[in-house]
Structures are given as C-alpha cells and as structure tokens.
A = this chain, B = another copy of it.
Amino acid sequence: MGEALLSSGELEQYLHRQIPLAELMGVRVLGVSLAAVTLCAPLEPNINHHETVFGGAATSVALLAGWSLLYLRLQAADIAHRLVIQRHSMEHERPITATFLARAQLSPQAEWPQFAAMLARRAKARIGVSVRLEQSGERVAALLGEFVALAPR
C-alpha cells in the first residue's frame, strides 16, 4: 500500500550523495510532506559578482525541490520510476541577497491520480510542479517545471 515518506535528513543525504552540486551549493532540506518539499541554500557558495545568488544556482535549487517532491510521492506510492526534467521556466523577480528557500508543490493543473494511472498503463507520464523561492518570507522567484516519469524497463 505504499512506503513511509523519507525524512528530511534522509532526503538531504540522498541529494548530497547523488548530486555533488547539491552538496557544493549547501542545499539543506527544511521540510517534506506529500504536499510540499522545502529546501534552502545559503548565499556564499552560490554568489555572483553582484553579491547576489547566481540565477543558475537559484534555478538548480528550485529544480531539486520540484524533483524531490515527485520522488517522495512516487516512493510513498511504491511506484518504481525514473524521473527526468523535460522543460522549465523561471521568473527571476528580485535579487537574492541571503539564504533563500524553495518550496515545491504540484502545479495547480497537475492530476496525481491520472499521472499515476498513466505511468502504470503506458510506462510514461508527465506532471508539473510549481516552485516558489523566498527570502525572509518574501517571494523572489518562481519556477514552473514539467517532469516525465518513466517506469523501469
């Protein structure tokens, strides 16, 4: 009937072990649930020449948050899969000048039951995530991502 959800600590270890850049960027996991995954990262390793967060680093943390949410949900539903980003768009709304967080949720249009059914039936399905980036409670950027899940062959 499904597995227990990974803890924040387990997800953090997994990300650091699997994606060296996540560790170099100082990505931490602040919270996990079926509804949302929240990551954070400090300014220092991600800084640019304006003393703000490099846009590629902000995007990377947002993509990791979105990926993590889908990974956790698929794990919890005990659905074997391979999860790949297909496209994304990012609005860089304000300069990020300190530690920031990225909170991923399913996109408003996403239909999880249909996604899971399609993955079971066709071994391939797409789903969208919406990630909000915040610094000190204020929104600084937003990412929309579309992932594709593939059942193992």
Contacts and interface: CB of A to CB of B under 8 A. Distances in A.
Contact of A48 (B18, B92, B95): B18
B21 A46 contact: yes
Interface in A77-132: 82, 84-92, 95
Which 3 pairs across A and B sit closest by C-beta, in order of nearness? Answer: A56-B60, A18-B49, A89-B89
Contacts of A46: 21
Interface of A: 18-21, 24-25, 45-50, 54-57, 59-61, 63-64, 82, 84-92, 95
Give the number of copies in the complex. 2
Interface centre among A19, A48, A64, A86 (most CB of B within 10 A): A48
Given A50-B82, A84-B50, A84-B95, A57 B89 contact: no
14 contacts: A18-B48, A19-B47, A19-B48, A19-B54, A20-B47, A21-B21, A21-B45, A21-B46, A21-B57, A56-B60, A59-B88, A84-B92, A86-B91, A89-B89
A49 B82 CA distance: 10
